[in-house]
Structure 1
Amino acid sequence: MRRLLLPFFLTAFAAHAQVPTPAAPQATPVLLLGGTLHTGTGQVIENAAVAFDKGRLVYAGPRAGFSQTAGYTVRDVSGQHVYPGLILPNTTLGISEVESIRATVDDQEVGALNPNVRSVIAYNTDSDVIPTVRLNGVLLAQSTPRGGLLSGQSSVVQLDAWNWQDALVKADDGLHLTWPQQVVRLNPAEDAAALTRRQEARTTQLRELEGLLSEAGAYRQQPAGRKENLRLSSMGGLFDGSKTLYIHADYGKELIESVRFARRLGVQKVALVGARDAWMVLDFLKQNDVAVVLSRVHALPRRDGDDYDQPYKLPAQLQAAGVRYCLDYQGSQETSGARNLAFIAGTAVTYGLTKEQALTAITLSSARILGIDKDYGSLESGKSATLVVSKGDLLDMRTNAVTAAYIDGRSIALESKQTYLDRKFRCKYGIE
């Protein structure tokens, strides 16, 4: 009997531990009644109604304003909160699995200048990490390459699909440039010759980058029918505004230098990623209408003389200055830690933002910077029905408890290996 039952239990364990099957398209209209609606635009509506059909929102507003229930599958969410699906920019989610195991990491290409590299074709919809991220409300992500000087092109994906083609929301939304760090003497023992060599290496990098961007700008002017150059053609969107140049930089001087560099070469849309010294150049960012994808809110100050809470209060400083910004999650264990995006926003609430401003920073603001706000980022009639329902405040780790999630109207399975193991060992130890 033991020999007969063992294969059965092993098979059952394996089946339960698999990534959940992607949801089927929405079959019937759904109406969520009685919850507190957070639209993502700053508006909060008590006792709301949210109706959606064929993946699009039909209504999102006060319950009294929507009386039609015939034909709808009605779900009572009284006492709960309804939010737009969270959007995670600048992430290796889906292209990096176990960061300490090289064979599971596919987030960078060999070489320094790879503008034609597309991260989305490496995106793994069967990642075991993705379901754990959805459990905290993250439903869309910007799959972003790493490494080199010009890393390649990112794409925006939704986190419930059979393959990368089905997951794709916006292909090749921008190119990612890691700005060469300014040369400063960090080690007092470093001699002048070594410092000069580092400065010359940086100058060479900038010269090569300028040459490539200049070539790409000239390439666009060539007549139709020319032999295609993949490296140059992939950069064409930078000069007509269809693609964004995401510049990864932190120091204040680097932020100003990189933006001026890009604008001088004709790049139309620039966004700064990281930007930990953005508080030093707020006027410059505002005057030049530069968006910021802010990283490392959960971090120590960069300098001994900085305020102890400088990273925590930077979102509020950007908000007060009128700078366009959104929040990402970047730090140690970048992929597995992506689930904490909502709590990054929660920290920003403690240090100056309102709850709705913080929510906007991980929903609508992200959608605007990524160029997908026509369909995602807020709960408004006509937009995609991509939303989550939580028992408590989504931005507070003590009350975040997602009970339902929808991507384009499809009801997403809130299961992962971790939820399976939780049930397994609760059963083992008799925990209710």
Structure 2
Amino acid sequence: MSHLRLMLLLGLLIGTGAARAHDMIPAPQQTGAILLQNATVHSVLHGVQPHTDVLLEQGKITAIGPKLTHADANIIDLSGKHLYPGLIALDTTLGLTEISMVRATNDTRDVGDDNPQLQASTAYNPDSELLPTVRVHGITHAQSTPRGKGLAGQSLLVSLDAWTVEDAAHPASRQFHLYWPTLPKRYADKEKTAKARSRYQQAVARIEDYFTAAQRYRLGADSQQHIKEDIRWQALLPLLRGEGKLFVHADTQQAIEEAAALARAHKLPLVIVGGYDAWRLADVLNEQNAAVIYTHTLDLPLRGDEPIGQAFRIPALLKQAGIPFALGFSSDWNSRNLPLAAAQTVAWGLTPQEALKAITYDAAQIIGAPGLGAIAVGFDASLVISSGDILDPLTTKIEAVYIDGRQVDLNNRHRQLYQKYLKR
């Protein structure tokens, strides 16, 4: 065998190993009716309903109530069990990252600061080994989000059990992500501080100039004048026409105020991601009907002079301020801790029902995905069956997960390795 042929063969073998998919086969489409009986139903919208039946047909919830009947349904008795809507993980890189320390398996960002045309759907991997390890914790859907600087691209709402990205994609609003520049630090050297502030102001001015130029492009496109097409501004047209939402990743009060001013000037629907100081700006955000995806539930305080539990109590402060919010977990495989993050907010001011709503229905509303996040007639049959409280990692045990009425295989790489080393 020649040296060239040997190298090609080795490359093929290495490439095949790197592209290996997980072993779990996506569940087939629901055909017959399923009747879940005698469950404690955590409906989210209508409280907790004990001893309640739920009927699933063609991927939808078609009836809820006591003592339901259906001639041809597969009946499953859930006496003593809890039934929850599937959890929705926001601001994740699921499907875009496989092994964070291996650069070739990371496709979360591109070069440059102006990439609104980039779409997570082009890089999303529905065969990622991480997906089964996350959905076993009750997470049925995730927002797969690009990272970067400036306009980093468009995220995608996906179900976590699918053959292809087309199958995985769930209808939602167009989601454009803008990473706000980091505020400058204060240095002992005044000249160094002044230069840092100048760089920050230039970065903010650049964002404002970019949106101003994009608005001019929109005016030209709407007037049907002959203009030179720019794929970046062309991609922004849905947002500028009110057909999408601008997700601005910002934490400090100044950054959030500046982002809100930008959104107000260009009449853009606004969602703040991160949102550490968002509770301080209730008047500004509520005036614009803005929402917050809070991602610091398990973090330490942002500032050294703040109470140790400041990050933990911010969801309750957002609730008190009347700001619509959901809880996110900015990670890939570690987004499995979303239920734990929600549980933390219960210890710091939210009720269990409010915490559950923040990772289900509220999350679906913020990303424009009606029909998700609650157990109600007409909603998607994406459900979780547990023997305990889904917000309590010590007592909960996820026994079954349904996505669109399809029972998902809960096997995963973690369980396989556990069984393997039991035999050592």
TM-score by length of 2: 0.91
Q: Measured at CA, do residues 415 and 172 of structure 1 come closer, stay the same or move farther in structure 2, by a change above 3 Å?
A: same
Question: What letter corresponds to residue 392 of structure 1 in structure 2?
Answer: G
Aligned to 1:343: 340
Matches for 1:75-94 after TM superposition, within 5 Å = 75-94=76-95
Deviations 1:270-324 (A, max 9, x none): 0000011223223433333220000111011122321221111111111122110
Deviations 1:170-189 (A, max 9, x none): 3672111111122240x32x
Structure 2 SS opposite 1:34: strand
Task: State the 1:42 CA deviation.
Answer: 5.1
1:18 aligned to 2:22?
yes
Matches for 1:4-403 after TM superposition, within 5 Å = 18-41=22-45, 43-60=47-64, 62-64=65-67, 66=68, 68-170=69-171, 173-185=174-186, 187-188=187-188, 191-222=189-220, 223-224=223-224, 226=226, 227-267=228-268, 269-330=269-330, 334-372=331-369, 374-403=370-399
The CA distance in 2 between the partners of 1:31 and 1:214, in whole Å, is: 54
Q: Measured at CA, do residues 22 and 251 of structure 1 come closer, stay the same or move farther in structure 2, by a change above 3 Å?
A: same
The CA distance in 1 between the partners of 2:23 and 2:209, in whole Å, is: 45
The CA distance in 1 between the partners of 2:46 and 2:297, in whole Å, is: 21
Range with greater deviation from structure 2 (137-146 or 225-234): 225-234
Question: What letter corresponds to residue 335 of structure 1 in structure 2?
Answer: D
Question: What letter corresponds to residue 363 of structure 1 in structure 2?
Answer: T
4+ residue runs over 3 A deviation: 223-228
The CA distance in 2 between the partners of 1:24 and 1:194, in whole Å, is: 61
The CA distance in 2 between the partners of 1:96 and 1:418, in whole Å, is: 17
The CA distance in 2 between the partners of 1:144 and 1:392, in whole Å, is: 31
Question: What letter corresponds to residue 137 of structure 1 in structure 2?
Answer: G
Deviations 1:326-371 (A, max 9, x none): 00112xxx21211010110011111111111100000000000000
The CA distance in 1 between the partners of 2:37 and 2:379, in whole Å, is: 19
The CA distance in 1 between the partners of 2:379 and 2:229, in whole Å, is: 37
Deviations 1:47-94 (A, max 9, x none): 01111111011112x324x2x231000001111111111001111011
The CA distance in 2 between the partners of 1:234 and 1:81, in whole Å, is: 43
The CA distance in 2 between the partners of 1:287 and 1:405, in whole Å, is: 39
The CA distance in 2 between the partners of 1:315 and 1:151, in whole Å, is: 26
Work out the percentage of aligned pairs sharing the same amino acid: 35
Question: What letter corresponds to residue 197 of structure 2 in structure 1?
Answer: Q
Task: State the 1:225 CA deviation.
Answer: 7.2
Aligned to 1:9: none
Task: State the 1:424 CA deviation.
Answer: 3.0
The CA distance in 1 between the partners of 2:382 and 2:396, in whole Å, is: 18
Unpaired runs of at least 5, structure 2: 1-20
The CA distance in 2 between the partners of 1:56 and 1:137, in whole Å, is: 18
Structure 2 SS opposite 1:157: strand
Aligned to 2:413: 417
Question: What letter corresponds to residue 195 of structure 2 in structure 1?
Answer: R
Range with greater deviation from structure 2 (147-156 or 211-220): 211-220
Structure 2 SS opposite 1:292: strand
Structure 1 SS opposite 2:157: strand
Question: What letter corresponds to residue 412 of structure 2 in structure 1?
Answer: S
Structure 1 SS opposite 2:263: helix
The CA distance in 1 between the partners of 2:40 and 2:386, in whole Å, is: 10
Q: Measured at CA, do residues 266 and 288 of structure 1 come closer, stay the same or move farther in structure 2, by a change above 3 Å?
A: closer
The CA distance in 2 between the partners of 1:141 and 1:371, in whole Å, is: 13
Q: How many residue pairs align between the two structures?
A: 402
The CA distance in 2 between the partners of 1:171 and 1:326, in whole Å, is: 16
Aligned to 2:17: none
Aligned to 1:6: none
Q: For the Cα contact (< 8 Å) 2:144–2:158, is it kept in 1?
A: yes
Q: For the Cα contact (< 8 Å) 2:90–2:327, is it kept in 1?
A: yes
The CA distance in 1 between the partners of 2:304 and 2:198, in whole Å, is: 29
Task: State the 1:241 CA deviation.
Answer: 2.1
The CA distance in 2 between the partners of 1:209 and 1:150, in whole Å, is: 9
Q: Measured at CA, do residues 213 and 317 of structure 1 come closer, stay the same or move farther in structure 2, by a change above 3 Å?
A: same
